[in-house]
Amino acid sequence: MSTLTIALIQTSLNWLDKDANLTHFSNKVANIDKSVELILLPETFATGFAINLDCAEPENGTVLNWMITTANSANAVIAGSVLVQQGDKKANRFYWVWPNGKVKYYDKRHLFCLGKEGDFVKAGERREVFTLNGFRILPQVCYDLRFGVFQRSRNDYDVMVNVANWPAARRKVWDTLLMARAMENQCYVIGVNRVGDDGNGVAHNGGTAVYDFKGDTLAQAKDNESSVLITTLDKEPLERFKQSFPAHLDADGFSLQG
């Protein structure tokens, strides 16, 4: 049965300084063991969550090219979200980049109205599932975590990944919903959050963690510290649990509208 070794990078970000952030992450990635097959970075890792400022990338910009080069050198998939220009708005785009240069993406669906994210960011229109080592992986970005219907499994994924700039003030919600999503969807859940204050003075204290299909914590980074958390997922216990407790067979049918 398949396994998947993952590195979760929890760190502070340099506000609006792409060069400094890419250099920082290059150094982090260079020190990750070559057994790692997937490297996860926080939301808007190249700029910070500066949605109202002129910092978006073109479709094939510097940050994506860095991800392609870095994935190749690390021989691992590298993933995280980037602000990408889309007409007069941006997409908060979760890039998924293979070592061979292949690129897929998911655009953040749920935009934070309290922060007026929708004034500057275009909402994604579709859900995506990526596959690696036999694991089906649902990518999500930060605020998406609050919307369980959109993430509801149709037995179509094994791992949910959420990359975030989730504020310390709402940390309890982050921890609770990550565990809840794991239990209700009978899947592994991975949350990757940043630490430190951003350019708007918003504090972040981490909470980067991995939960199993029962909501139990498999690994967790220390709060308020930069770290690289490495974990290995095993598909066999997940499949065995779903066979012994097939709650997904009793799920309600539903369809998602645009």
Chain segment 69-88, per-residue pLDDT in tens: 999 999 999 999 999 999 99
pLDDT at 178: 98
Query: How confident is the chain (258 residues) per 10-residue block, as mean pLDDT?
Result: 95 98 98 98 98 95 98 98 97 98 98 93 96 98 97 95 98 98 98 98 98 98 98 98 92 76
Question: Is position 108 annotated as part of the catalytic site?
Answer: yes
> What letter does residue 214 receive in the DSSP assignment?
T
CA-nearest of 29, 32, 90, 31 to 61 is 90
Ramachandran category for residue 155: left, alpha or beta (phi over 0 → left; psi -120 to 50 → alpha): left
Question: Is position 222 annotated as part of the catalytic site?
Answer: no
φ/ψ (deg, to 5) at 178: -60, -45
Query: Of 43, 90, 117, 235, which one is the catalytic site residue?
Result: 43
Query: Of 108, 117, 122, 187, which one is the catalytic site residue?
Result: 108
Rounded Cα gap, residues 113 and 100, in angstroms: 37
In a domain, 258, yes or no: no
Tokens of 183: 């239990």
Q: Range of 227's domain?
A: 3-250
Rounded Cα gap, residues 229 and 235, in angstroms: 19
Query: Of 55, 142, 187, 235, which one is the catalytic site residue?
Result: 142
Question: Is position 43 annotated as part of the catalytic site?
Answer: yes
C-alpha distance from residue 102 to each of 33, 136, 162 (Å): 22, 17, 21
Sorted by sequence, the CB contacts under 8 Å of residue 69 that are 6+ apart come out as none
In a domain, 137, yes or no: yes
In a domain, 123, yes or no: yes
- Number of residues written out for the chain: 258
In a domain, 187, yes or no: yes
- Work out the burial of residue 227: count CB atoms within 10 Å of its CB; fewer than 13 is exposed, 13-18 middle, 19 or more buried: middle
CATH of the domain at 44: 3.60.110.10
pLDDT at 1: 66
SS3 of residue 161 by DSSP? strand
Structurally, the chain folds into a number of domains equal to: 1
In a domain, 257, yes or no: no
In a domain, 188, yes or no: yes
Count of Cβ atoms closer than 10 Å to residue 55 Cβ: 18
pLDDT at 252: 86
